[in-house]
Chain A
């Protein structure tokens, strides 16, 4: 099984900050990775697919990068509506998820 290690598990940030979240795969997964945002009581929302492609309708302050085993989600200029939990999903072999990163104020 491919394991996904996500860090940090939580972080505190302020509006306007730049935030970086990392996922590491236990083996190479190419660019078979997505990033998602989930707010309490809501359905998760896809932000990024194919490691770096921005989902339609998602603000351009969200970006993804990486290939192989190391991937990054970056939020430039954090907005109030961005306080949420973020997780990665690899789909190179079945699906496995990162443990999530809670971004709070």
Chain B
């Protein structure tokens, strides 16, 4: 069974930094692209960032570009989201998402999310 476990969320002041981690199990982590998606309170889901299986390509939303950095360590089956210069509007539940392929295509499996509060 595919499992994705996010960690690293919490309360941070505006302008601060936070690093989210997501460890995958139940599948060959290095074969799949991974993404982060968020849901702000009362709002819909928003794509944040994605990284392909071999880290060659990364993708960012306009709101994440220049502030967030996605990376992965396939030896640890873990994907990271480094979030800098955080703003109140970054407050959200952040979901780790496994793609259906090694490229950035379609979400297949999701974690339960980790809450980030910027205040």
Contacts and interface: CB of A to CB of B under 8 A. Distances in A.
Contacts of B113: 43
Contacts of A75: none
Nearest to B107: A89
Contacts of A42: 112
Contacts, number: 50
| Chain B interface, DSSP helix/strand/loop, else mixed | strand
B47 A96 contact: yes
Interface in B30-75: 35, 37, 44-47, 50, 59, 61
A49 B46 CA distance: 19
Interface of B: 4, 35, 37, 44-47, 50, 59, 61, 95, 100, 105-113
Given A46-B108, A49-B108, 14 more contacts: A36-B107, A43-B110, A44-B107, A44-B110, A45-B110, A49-B100, A49-B106, A87-B45, A91-B107, A94-B47, A94-B59, A95-B50, A96-B47, A100-B44
